[in-house]
Amino acid sequence: MSRLFTFALLLLVGAFAPLYADAGEVKANGSPQPVVRAVLFRADWCANCHILEPVLERAMAEVTEVPVELVVLDFTSPASWDRSIETALDHDVVQVYNAYAGVTGLVVLTATDTGERISCFNRTFSAPAMVHSMKQAVSISLSRQRGQRDSGSIACPQGRAPL
């Protein structure tokens, strides 16, 4: 019952969440505000995650100058699942959380200003391919109108909730 209430709350918050993000803003440490969030759906028991995560770590090390923020949603246990709900709210990725909660071994690239899905990648991508995908997502986020940013990536599975 508690999870049903939390899911309903996430849907409500996602529907009315304010849209705020300016690519021109700068964080306190001097780096640009993220334009794209790379949302990692993972779990300790996920074999695909054990392949994906080291490659993703190398890719993230290469995109330090690219305005991409990594958000990790962990579905290992009920406690980590609950923390992931809070993380989704904190990072304004409720829309993709609702679509993919419980799916693992997947990274969903989302626009920070709308939370909309742009693209996805999984364990089959190399680090350079991940870097390219993140750079392309930033370009799409900055150049396309809101609501028209989904690249139609075949790496994106169909979600349970509308994206």
Residue 31's pLDDT is 54
Residue 148's pLDDT is 86
105 assigned to some structural domain: yes
1 assigned to some structural domain: no
15 assigned to some structural domain: no
Residue 152's pLDDT is 82
Expressed as residue numbers, the domain containing 98 is: 35-163
What total of structural domains would you count in the chain? 1
User: 123-162, pLDDT tens digit by residue?
Assistant: 999 999 999 999 999 999 999 888 888 888 888 888 877 6
148 assigned to some structural domain: yes
Contacts within 8 Å (CB) and 24+ apart, 44-53 = 44/74, 44/76, 45/76, 46/104, 46/105, 47/105, 48/104, 48/105, 48/122, 48/123, 49/104, 49/105, 49/123, 51/105, 51/123, 52/105, 52/107, 52/122, 52/123
With a cut of 50, list the residues of the chain below it in pLDDT: 1, 4-30
27 assigned to some structural domain: no
Q: CA geometry: angle at 141 spanning 33 and 156, to 5°?
A: 110
